[in-house]
Amino acid sequence: MKKHTIAFIGGGNMARSLISGLIQDGADPQSLWVSDPSADCRDGLASDFGIHTTDDNNQAVECADTVVLAVKPQQLKIVAQSLAAANSARNTLFISVAAGICSKTLLAWLGEQTPLVRAMPNTPALIQCGATALFASPNVTTEQHNFAESIMRSAGLTVWLDDEADMDAVTALSGSGPAYYFLFMEAMETAAMDLGLSTDVARLLTLQTAFGASRMALESSEDPAVLRQRVTSPGGTTEQALNVLEQSGLRETIRLALQAAARRAHELNDELS
């Protein structure tokens, strides 16, 4: 990784999380560049990580063999088109973490022969616990494929998609997924307080329960259905609670929620393209 130079266009939270993870993995800070219009952002990144910063996108990518596009989707067209000319004679790998813009559109802006990887991370990447799905364009070499994975893996787990159409489902599941769990935790806290627990106790027990359940699922070879059955005693308290959740249509509600998110992801691609 030390022999690569990586330029981040956009210095927001996702860029910061990736930079932090890369340096923890052994990347040389002097091999990392960030371009961002905000002086405060640049100063903070330079101070925290000792990397190069600039407000000039072309300066950032001039010597880079990999460019991470970490700007807002609405800004990506202008940014990509401005970099296309400089990239035309090079084989620079581009990685886009902008949600809702498909590879076909990105390649139309960057140039059809551009090696491109589209990534869909989620917000836990900010603490190196993210889940990122990746899709590679045909021009990505094996080395670039592996390097793109190493960059995104610095912020958590990575999976590759064979079909880019699956990215909408990924967006609905892991991209938006943290918010679903936050909502469930929020509801549990409120219900616990209604039962008489203090705010602090309800929050602490909710968070630790969520953490413990997730860790058990991660470390177990069994699927969640088996784990659920093992903690559900016939006639016990857990069974009573689960009966209410099942009767209220929780499974169908979750299915409809993910379908709505996937549908909106597809619509956003059409709008932003």
**How far is Cα 2 from Cα 231, in angstroms, rounded to an integer?**
47
Pair 18, 147 in one domain: yes
Domain boundary among 112, 139, 170: 170
Domain boundary among 170, 186, 220: 170
Q: For residue 134, is it within any domain?
A: yes
Pair 81, 200 in one domain: no
How many angstroms separate the most distant Cα atoms in the chain? 70
Pair 216, 100 in one domain: no
Average pLDDT over residues 219-234: 96
The pair of three-digit structure tokens given for residue 258, joined into one six-digit string: 């993910």
Whether the full predicted model's pTM is greater than 0.85, yes or no, is yes
C-alpha angle 206/208/211, rounded to 5°? 110
Pair 20, 140 in one domain: yes
Q: Measured between alpha carbons, how far is residue 250 from residues 208, 229, 235, 243, 270 in Å?
A: 23, 17, 21, 10, 31
Query: Quick one: which H or E segment has residue 119?
Result: strand 116-120
Which CATH number fits the domain that encloses residue 262?
1.10.3730.10
Task: Tell me the average pLDDT of the chain.
Answer: 94
Average pLDDT over residues 189-204: 98
pLDDT at residue number 88: 62
Q: For residue 243, is it within any domain?
A: yes
pLDDT in tens, 18-51: 999 999 999 999 999 999 999 999 999 999 999 9
Domain that holds residue 20: 6-170
Average pLDDT over residues 110-135: 94
Q: For residue 201, is it within any domain?
A: yes
pLDDT at residue number 3: 73
The pair of three-digit structure tokens given for residue 246, joined into one six-digit string: 């099942």
Average pLDDT over residues 76-85: 90
- Domain tally, the chain: 2
Q: For residue 246, is it within any domain?
A: yes
**How far is Cα 83 from Cα 90, in angstroms, rounded to an integer?**
11
Domain boundary among 144, 170, 196: 170
- Cα dihedral 181, 185, 191, 193, rounded to 10, equals -170
Q: For residue 146, is it within any domain?
A: yes
Pair 99, 194 in one domain: no
Pair 45, 112 in one domain: yes
